[in-house]
């Protein structure tokens, strides 16, 4: 349980910077003389680093151990965030985005598989609710600094300090990781050959899971990155107020995942996933309705609530669907594909906003939610382990 507590803290830290760029960019771009859509470029680079680390994390853990991989990865994110706070040119953020993405991707893939293998479904949902705590706290913290001149710099410094403190904790906990792995790994797991990415891709059902993660993370990140800009440009809401509602979107994810953790032992993972997709669809409709700004704000919360069960429960189902020996490779591929979606969709949304308007933003989210609904329903058949290859 002590190690689980440390993992929870790591996921809070992982979530802190995820939502900060989108909520701070309406002000940050002015200080750096950058365009509105340049945030999509930064997001793309972060995602590229995450894709790379997700693809190589299986081998890294095999050779160095999960404890060292997680600690060094968080160190990379801490250094990158400190660099963000000190940057005077927008292009500097592009270079800093590389270690930020590499570090975040390795932590995400490694810890998700570790919890899926060694803990119950409720802990996976709680784990991602703690990510939501960080993702909610980040915009709230930044909203408090935005009223100050170049206050976003102080916001990034604060988040970087939190990351450095976590690095100290993770290095101190290295013996705990080693002891846990030795005591918990079964003999059949130690004798099983390392499953490569190429082998995992050939397994039935894996491509469907990759489509789910591509579409889901496109929704989650696009909403976090562009919702504030949508509210300010299409709804004439003040930037600080828009940042607050982005925080409420992440709060919806957090509360939803905590609730899923409470009921996880009574409700099947697949039922939670299906309910989440339906709620996202409803949220997108509310966000698109032109009648009231209040409905748009409620729509953001609904999208957050709907996002809550999809990611953690699909991860939790991975060892059950495809086997524990293949789960790290499949989860690594899932993380990589998810961030490829993040690389593609947010820049497209930014370019669409530049050419047209942000009015198309809810429609794109609605389309992605429909894709998730179709693929998750097809993926249900692979819940029976006997269908694995």
User: How far is residue 90 from each of residues 95, 223, 255, measured CA to CA in Å?
Assistant: 10, 22, 34
Number of folded domains that form the chain: 1
Residue-wise pLDDT tens digits, 185-217: 554 454 556 778 888 888 888 999 999 999 998
Q: What is the pLDDT of residue 183?
A: 63
Q: What percent of the chain has pLDDT over 90?
A: 27
Residue 2 lies in a domain: no
With bands split at pLDDT 50, 70 and 90, how would you rate the model's confidence at 118? confident
Give the single-character DSSP code of 195: P
Residues 6+ apart with CB under 8 A from 105: 49, 50, 51, 52, 53, 54, 57, 73, 335, 336, 339
The answer on pLDDT for 163 being more than 60 is yes
Residue-wise pLDDT tens digits, 50-67: 889 988 888 888 888 888
Predicted model pTM: 0.77
Residue 229 lies in a domain: yes
- Centre a 10 Å sphere on the Cβ of residue 355 and count the other Cβ atoms it contains: 9
Q: What is the pLDDT of residue 188?
A: 47
The answer on pLDDT for 129 being more than 90 is no
Mean pLDDT, the chain, integer: 85
Residue-wise pLDDT tens digits, 212-267: 999 998 998 888 888 888 888 887 778 878 888 888 898 898 889 889 999 988 88
User: How far is residue 353 from each of residues 28, 44, 359, 369, measured CA to CA in Å?
Assistant: 18, 17, 8, 20
Q: Which two tokens stand for residue 355?
A: 């050419």
Least Cα distance to 170 among 9, 58, 381 occurs for: 9
Q: Are 29 and 165 in contact (CB under 8 A)?
A: no
Q: Which two tokens stand for residue 130?
A: 């703690």
Q: What is the pLDDT of residue 386?
A: 38
Q: What is the pLDDT of residue 56?
A: 87
Domain hosting residue 51, numbered range? 7-181+195-387
The dihedral region occupied by 34, where left means phi > 0, alpha psi between -120 and 50, and beta the remainder, is beta
Residue 189 lies in a domain: no
Q: What is the pLDDT of residue 192?
A: 58
The answer on pLDDT for 370 being more than 60 is yes
Q: What percent of the chain has pLDDT over 70?
A: 94
Residue 162 lies in a domain: yes
The answer on pLDDT for 389 being more than 50 is no
Residue 188 lies in a domain: no
Q: What is the pLDDT of residue 347?
A: 75
Q: Nearest 5°: phi and psi at 267?
A: -120, 135
Residue 235 lies in a domain: yes
Question: Residue 265 belongs to a domain with what CATH number?
Answer: 1.20.1250.20
Residue 1 lies in a domain: no
The answer on pLDDT for 308 being more than 50 is yes
């Amino acid at each position: 349980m002590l190690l689980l507590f440390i993992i929870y803290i790591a996921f809070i830290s992982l979530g802190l910077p995820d939502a900060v760029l989108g909520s701070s960019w309406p002000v940050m771009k002015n200080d750096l003389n950058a365009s509105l859509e340049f945030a999509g470029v930064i997001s793309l680079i972060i995602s590229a680093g995450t894709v790379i680390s997700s693809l190589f994390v299986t081998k890294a853990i095999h050779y160095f151990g999960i404890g060292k991989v997680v600690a060094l990865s968080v160190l990379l994110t801490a250094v990158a965030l400190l660099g963000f706070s000190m940057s005077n040119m927008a292009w500097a953020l592009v270079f800093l985005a590389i270690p930020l993405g590499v570090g975040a991707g390795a932590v995400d893939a490694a810890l998700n598989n570790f919890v899926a293998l060694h803990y119950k479904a409720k802990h996976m949902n709680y784990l991602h609710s703690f990510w939501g705590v960080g993702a909610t706290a980040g915009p709230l913290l930044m909203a408090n600094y935005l009223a100050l001149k170049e206050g976003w710099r102080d916001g990034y410094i604060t988040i970087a300090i939190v990351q450095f403190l976590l690095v100290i904790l993770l290095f101190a906990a290295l013996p705990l990781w080693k002891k846990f792995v030795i005591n918990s790994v079964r003999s059949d797991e130690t004798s099983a050959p390392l499953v490569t990415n190429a082998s995992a891709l050939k397994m039935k059902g894996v491509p469907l899971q990759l489509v789910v993660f591509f579409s889901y993370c496109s929704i989650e990140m696009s909403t976090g990155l562009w919702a504030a800009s949508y509210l300010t440009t299409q709804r004439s809401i003040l930037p600080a107020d828009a940042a607050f509602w982005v925080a409420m979107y992440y709060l919806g994810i957090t509360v939803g995942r905590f609730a899923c953790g409470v009921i996880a032992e009574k409700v099947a993972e697949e039922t939670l996933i299906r309910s989440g997709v339906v709620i996202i669809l409803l949220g997108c409709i509310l966000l698109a309705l032109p009648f009231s700004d209040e409905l748009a704000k409620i729509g953001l919360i609904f999208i957050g609530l709907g996002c809550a069960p999809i990611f953690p429960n699909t991860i939790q189902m991975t060892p059950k669907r495809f086997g524990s020996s293949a789960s790290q490779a499949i989860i690594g591929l899932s993380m990589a594909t998810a961030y490829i979606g993040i690389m593609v969709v947010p820049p497209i949304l930014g370019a669409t906003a530049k050419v047209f308007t942000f009015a198309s933003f809810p429609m794109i989210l609605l389309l992605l939610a429909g894709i998730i609904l179709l693929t998750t329903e097809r993926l249900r058949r692979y819940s029976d382990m006997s269908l694995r290859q």
